[in-house]
Chain A
Amino acid sequence: MTIPLSCYLILSGILFICGVLGFLIKRNIITIFMSIELMLNGVNLSFVAFAAQWHALSGQMFVFFVMVVAAAEAAVGLAIIIAVYRTRETLNVDQVNLLKL
């Protein structure tokens, strides 16, 4: 009962691409943030898949740390979003453009 490793990698790639596209297409800041989480998940999958191939447990360690960092990042990022919402009263990323030339 084996399947080629590339199946897992393809799935990881699809998730990553969906994440990138969501990051580019969506206008709601929170949705953009969620797309970033999607990208991270895709990368996690590929880590675990390679760890399975090489029987190297450090791949799982990486996943652990990625998750920790993702948690920290999500916390801070959402705090920033709340702060931005307070001043700009909008969650449309196109309207957060005070740095426009």
Chain B
Amino acid sequence: MTENPNLWLIPVLPLAGAAINGVFGRELPKKAITAIALGFCGAAFLLALKIALGFSASEAPYSFELAPWIRAGSFQADFSFYLDQLSLVMLLVVTGVGFLIHIYSVGYMADDHGYYRFLSYLNLFMFFMLTLVLAKNYLLMFIGWEGVGLASYLLIGFWFTKDSAAAAGKKAFIVNRIGDFGFLIALFLMIQHFGSLDFTRVFAAVQPLQPEIAGTGLLTSIGLLLMVGAAGKSAQIPLYVWLPDAMEGPTPVSALIHAATMVTAGVYMVARSHVIFERAPGALTVVAVIGTLTALFAATIGIAQTDIKKVLAYSTVSQLGYMFMACGVAAFSSGIFHLMTHAFFKGLLFLAAGSVIHGVGGEQDMRKMGGLRTFMPWTFGTMGIATLAIAGIPPLAGFWSKDEILGRAYQANPLYWLIGIVTAFITSFYMFRLMYMTFGGDYRGAPVGGTHGHDDHGHEHGHGWPHESPWVMLGPLVVLAILSVVGGFVGIGGGFEHFMAPVFQTAPGSELAEGAGGEAANKGLEYLLMGVSATIAFAGWFFAYLFYSRRLELPARIAASLGGLYRAVANKYYVDELYGSLFVKPLVEGSTAILWKGIDQGVIDATVNNAADEARHVSDNVRHMQSGNLRSYAGWVAAGGAVVIAYMVWIGVR
């Protein structure tokens, strides 16, 4: 399209929906709320589709300035929107998966008292996320960045009367904030050295700079600080601790925010800033190391979890680690490819888990599930497809994207590949463990219907068995399952990479160049690695089958024999406790002792109170001057007169 694509409409439409639902939702009937929320979100999706169909690589990137914003001396930042291949992919993922999850929520949250609030928050989240993705300068992106953090807080703590939910919301926001601090400093450095935050201006300024091979410099600092922000938002080491706790929120929230879109904002930001990272090898290495370690670390924790959502949460952290690993070896398009496929199958996994939880009446412990495949066949089927995808079983989507990452990682450093392969094995293992524990064997849980759903739901089930979910929830599952199957085919033969090439073709030298070097030289190696990946995936499946379907006594025996190690893994390596004692407790106690009791009470309150006390004391003492006693009055008069006379004598004598 040659004319103005009106990019600004895409974020603003969900904002309008959020505003209407938020302000008037309490009085509107449920159908109206649903119509408004789905309508605006759907309109955004349709607009995104229209733009995608009319997208032409030769005219990209599109730029659209909505309004001027900040003009402060030589610094300028505007409400400008930007569309290139990278934003287009993100746009489609966000609006598409977001719309599906909106539909799903209509069914999932149907009985909740805060129905209108939930849909309003979801729309608000869409607005911020789309702003983040479509922004043309870092400042507008930061608004979206902070805004999705806010939406995440609101949605995690949606059932705010529950203490754990409110605390989880706080934790997410605060840990995110730590990352945002790093992001802000990076922005300040950019303003100071490049004079602008606009993408085109910054990247044009960075383009001619030499890569900083010899250690640290400006670009390395900026890159590291950006990574701090990304680590907070995308739950990497050491700022991942909020994501498992975020499972307190309703399952659609976990699907949308903590699987498909918000946590991928960090990856998007790193990919967007690839110009900077390519010239700062030190920072890139840090990114890759963090990503790899996180992938392995989270996967090991996922093995021992018993809550179905927690397994998926750690799985998300682990897959995000893969994406950062990809970015860290300068395979940015591979990272985005995995982001896209991950949105499909992880979103599907969460939605299906929500369907399972809905069906068993709120139970989330997998040990109390089992045998659900007969009760919930559609959920079983779609979740199975998603599990195959995430495990990397060919030819589903996850296989293509994960294999591309592993291939590029091997070219950069075989150690990354090795850790990645081990993580893939563990991923496959725990995902199939989840499947067998949830759907295999016989139903081990309590009769459904005695307890009324999960948290705020007031479901009335006449029978005592788990049941399938309504079609409004199953529809999105099916769509996402189809996408999980076919979504990876765009990447075959480097198709996705070629599509994204115009965005990422700004590498400085030949060593970190995308595409050209590895592909042509080592086709054989590539097929070998693909074979290894597939084998490892099947191996993981086999072991899961062995442990959780065939010989069910093995897991307990191994856990008992490992003893302390197993306990450490099951307790998430006690990281939360470590942070608590290292940071939280000293901070809280320090604040209480110094800031509250010392300064607020001791200095500020004391000043005010003491001023009042002193005034009272002074007036208490001065009061004696008015005694009603005539002679004391006479005494005061005489004293005053004596003072005046003495003064006059003194003046006269001088």
Task: Let me know if chains A and B touch directly in the complex, using CB atoms closer than 8 Å.
Answer: yes
B638 at interface by CB-CB < 8 Å: yes
> Which residues of B, 622-637, contact A by the 8 Å Cβ criterion?
623, 626-631, 634-635
In the complex, what distance in Å separates the CA atom of A85 from the CA atom of B627? 21
Does the CB pair A99–B628 fall under 8 Å? Answer: yes
Q: Which of B623, B631, B635 contacts A101 (CB 8 A)?
A: B623
Question: Size range of the interface on A?
Answer: 10 to 19
A93 at interface by CB-CB < 8 Å: yes
Hey, which chain A residues are within 8 Å of B641, CB to CB? 20
Does the CB pair B634–A24 fall under 8 Å? Answer: yes
Q: Which B residue sits closest to A25, measured CB to CB?
A: B631
Q: Which A residue sits closest to B629, measured CB to CB?
A: A97
Q: Which of A20, A93, A98 contacts B631 (CB 8 A)?
A: A93
Q: Which A residue sits closest to B627, measured CB to CB?
A: A100
> Which residues of B, 147-187, contact A by the 8 Å Cβ criterion?
none
A96 at interface by CB-CB < 8 Å: yes
A23 at interface by CB-CB < 8 Å: yes
Hey, which chain B residues are within 8 Å of A20, CB to CB? 638, 641
Q: Which A residue sits closest to B628, measured CB to CB?
A: A100
On whether A93 and B623 interact (CB within 8 A), knowing A23-B638, A24-B635, the answer reads no
Does the CB pair B623–A97 fall under 8 Å? Answer: no
User: Closest approach, in angstroms, between the C-beta of B311 and any C-beta of chain A?
Assistant: 79
Does the CB pair B628–A97 fall under 8 Å? Answer: yes
Q: Which of B623, B629, B635, B638 contacts A94 (CB 8 A)?
A: B629
Interface string of A41-56 (1 = CB under 8 A from B): 0000000000000000
In the complex, what distance in Å separates the CA atom of A99 from the CA atom of B634? 15
In the complex, what distance in Å separates the CA atom of A45 from the CA atom of B20? 96
Interface string of A3-29 (1 = CB under 8 A from B): 000000000000000001001100100
In the complex, what distance in Å separates the CA atom of A62 from the CA atom of B42? 105
In the complex, what distance in Å separates the CA atom of A100 from the CA atom of B623? 11
In the complex, what distance in Å separates the CA atom of A99 from the CA atom of B629? 8
In the complex, what distance in Å separates the CA atom of A98 from the CA atom of B629? 9
Hey, which chain B residues are within 8 Å of A24, CB to CB? 631, 634-635, 638
Does the CB pair B638–A101 fall under 8 Å? Answer: no
Does the CB pair B630–A97 fall under 8 Å? Answer: yes
User: Closest approach, in angstroms, between the C-beta of B534 and any C-beta of chain A?
Assistant: 100
Hey, which chain B residues are within 8 Å of A97, CB to CB? 627-630
Interface string of B550-579 (1 = CB under 8 A from A): 000000000000000000000000000000
In the complex, what distance in Å separates the CA atom of A25 from the CA atom of B630? 11
Does the CB pair B634–A23 fall under 8 Å? Answer: yes
In the complex, what distance in Å separates the CA atom of A23 from the CA atom of B641? 13
Hey, which chain A residues are within 8 Å of B627, CB to CB? 97, 100-101
> Which residues of B, 616-653, contact A by the 8 Å Cβ criterion?
623, 626-631, 634-635, 638, 641
Hey, which chain A residues are within 8 Å of B630, CB to CB? 93-94, 96-97
Q: Which B residue sits closest to A96, measured CB to CB?
A: B630
Q: Which A residue sits closest to B639, measured CB to CB?
A: A24
User: Closest approach, in angstroms, between the C-beta of A94 and any C-beta of chain B?
Assistant: 7
User: Closest approach, in angstroms, between the C-beta of A21 and any C-beta of chain B?
Assistant: 9
> Which residues of A, 53-83, contact B by the 8 Å Cβ criterion?
none
User: Closest approach, in angstroms, between the C-beta of B326 and any C-beta of chain A?
Assistant: 86
In the complex, what distance in Å separates the CA atom of A27 from the CA atom of B623? 23
Does the CB pair A100–B634 fall under 8 Å? Answer: no
Interface string of B608-619 (1 = CB under 8 A from A): 000000000000
Hey, which chain A residues are within 8 Å of B635, CB to CB? 24
In the complex, what distance in Å separates the CA atom of A96 from the CA atom of B628? 8
Hey, which chain B residues are within 8 Å of A99, CB to CB? 628
In the complex, what distance in Å separates the CA atom of A11 from the CA atom of B627? 34
Does the CB pair B631–A94 fall under 8 Å? Answer: yes
In the complex, what distance in Å separates the CA atom of A100 from the CA atom of B631? 12
Q: Which A residue sits closest to B623, measured CB to CB?
A: A101
Hey, which chain A residues are within 8 Å of B626, CB to CB? 101
In the complex, what distance in Å separates the CA atom of A32 from the CA atom of B638? 13
Hey, which chain B residues are within 8 Å of A98, CB to CB? 628
User: Closest approach, in angstroms, between the C-beta of A84 and any C-beta of chain B?
Assistant: 11
Hey, which chain B residues are within 8 Å of A27, CB to CB? 631
Q: What would 21 A/B residue contacts be, using CB atoms closer than 8 Å?
A: A20-B638, A20-B641, A24-B634, A24-B635, A24-B638, A27-B631, A32-B634, A93-B630, A93-B631, A94-B629, A96-B630, A97-B627, A97-B629, A97-B630, A98-B628, A99-B628, A100-B627, A100-B629, A101-B623, A101-B626, A101-B628
Q: Which residues on A are within 8 Å of B, measured CB to CB?
A: 20, 23-24, 27, 32, 93-94, 96-101
Pick the 10 closest A-B CB pairs, nearest first: A100-B628, A99-B628, A97-B628, A93-B630, A20-B638, A23-B634, A97-B629, A24-B634, A24-B635, A24-B638
